[in-house]
Structure 1
Amino acid sequence: MVVLVSDGVSDYAKKLLKADGWMVEMISLLANPNQVRPKRFWGVYTKLKIFNMTNYKKVVYLDADTIVVKSIEDLFKCQKFCANLKHSERLNSGVMVVEPSEAVFNDMMSKVNTLPSYTGGDQGFLNSYYSDFPNAHVFDPNIPEEVLKSRPAPEMERLSTLYNADVGLYMLANKYP
């Protein structure tokens, strides 16, 4: 497993992560271009860098507040881009599967200052970038590989809520620093 850390993470914390078996990769922060945004969203656009991790065939991204309760190896069967709808008809960027592409990343970077973000963060940007996401087909990990190879890969697929559902764990008082 790989963890991306910025220069704000201490050497001691990186040492602990390595001792726990993580591959630690340094990453520079990507500034949030939105002037109107929650204070805690200052570095969230950094998440977009997973789209440029071309040294990997597939990236399964999990927000730090994600709890994995069973095997997620099926996610590696997703094709170009998978995420789910959560709380609405909008894409949730807390659990995503990405087939890294320098071309897609560069296209995103060319649009970060022009595409709107309803959240003021990466999730809102991704909803604008993948504007047809609510109409994407639901990812089915049981489709045989021969069938997948016989047709064009979809640009995006929706994950079912089985991959990212609130199951009774809530932040008390909904307060953020």
Structure 2
Amino acid sequence: MVALVSDGVSDFAKDLLQADGWKVELISLLANPNQVRPKRFWGVYTKLKIFNMTRYKKVVYLDADTIVVKSIEDLFQCGRFCANLKHSERLNSGVMVVEPSATLFEDMMRQVNSLPSYTGGDQGFLNSYYADFPNAHLFVPNLSAEIRNSRPQPEMERLSTLYNADVGLYMLANKWMVDERASGHPLHPRPP
């Protein structure tokens, strides 16, 4: 597991992460190009750097406020880009699977100042960048190699609710549609 940390993270916190088994990688922050944005979104574009982690074949990204309750190793079977749709058919960037590419990252950086972001952050940008995402096919884990190799690799796939469920959906709706391995994601705008 890799934790990406900026220079604003204390040495004490980095040491704790390492003691818990994390590989700590230092990264510089990407400035948010949106002048009108919530203050808490000042560094969220830094998340886009996962698309440039080319020393890895695949990256499974989890926001710091997600909770994994069961193995999610099947996410490594996803294609080039996987995320799930949340409210209002919007791509949610809290849980993503990325096949890193310097070319893709450079293309994103060329467009970061011109593509609109409905949130003022990375999630809104990614919704503009992957505008056709709501039409992506659903990711089906554990397909046989024969089936997977018989069709073209999709540019993007949607993750089901199994991988990124709101805590409210899980707790308040009697675990409706939610598998035990779902990653929890809070309903409120800020983690506690």
Indicate the residue corresponding to 1:104 in structure 2.
104
Moved more, 146-155 or 40-49: 146-155
Amino acid at match of 2:106: N
Could you tell me the TM-score, scaled by structure 2's length? 0.88
Q: Take 2:102 and 2:190, find their aligned partners in 1: how far apart are those partners?
A: 37
Count matched residues: 176
Q: Which secondary structure state, in structure 2, belongs to the residue aligned with residue 55 of structure 1?
A: coil
Q: Does 1:37 align with 2:58?
A: no
User: C-alpha distance in 1, partners of 2:124/2:26?
Assistant: 25
CA 1:39–1:160 in 2, change beyond 3 Å: closer, same or farther? same
Root-mean-square deviation (CA, aligned residues, Å) is: 1.6
Asked if residue 116 in structure 1 is aligned to residue 116 in structure 2, the reply is yes
Identity percentage of aligned residues: 81
DSSP 3-state at the match of 2:49:
helix
Q: TM-score, normalised by structure 1?
A: 0.95
**Offset at 1:87?**
1.4
Are the aligned partners of 2:82 and 2:159 in contact in 1 as well (CA < 8 Å)?
Answer: yes
More strand by share: 2
1:1-150 alignment runs, 5 A limit: 1-150=1-150
Q: Which segment drifts farther, 159-168 or 103-112? A: 159-168
Q: State the secondary structure of the residue aligned to 2:74.
A: helix
Post-superposition offset of 1:12: 1.1
Determine the structure 1 residue equivalent to 2:160.
160
Give the C-alpha shift of residue 142 in structure 1: 2.6
Instruction: Tell me how far apart the structure 1 counterparts of residues 88 and 44 of structure 2 sit (CA, whole Å).
Output: 21
Distance, in Å, in 1 between the alignment partners of 2:121 and 2:187 is 20
Q: Cα deviation per residue 1:84-121 (whole Å; 9 max; x = unaligned)?
A: 00112110000000000000000000000000000000
* Residues 175 and 49 of structure 1, relative CA distance in 2, 3 Å threshold: closer
* Runs of 4+ residues over 2 Å off in structure 1: 167-172, 174-177
Distance of 2:96 and 2:190 partners within structure 1: 25
| Residue type of the alignment partner of 1:100 | P
Q: Distance in 1 between the 2:18 and 2:115 partners?
A: 37
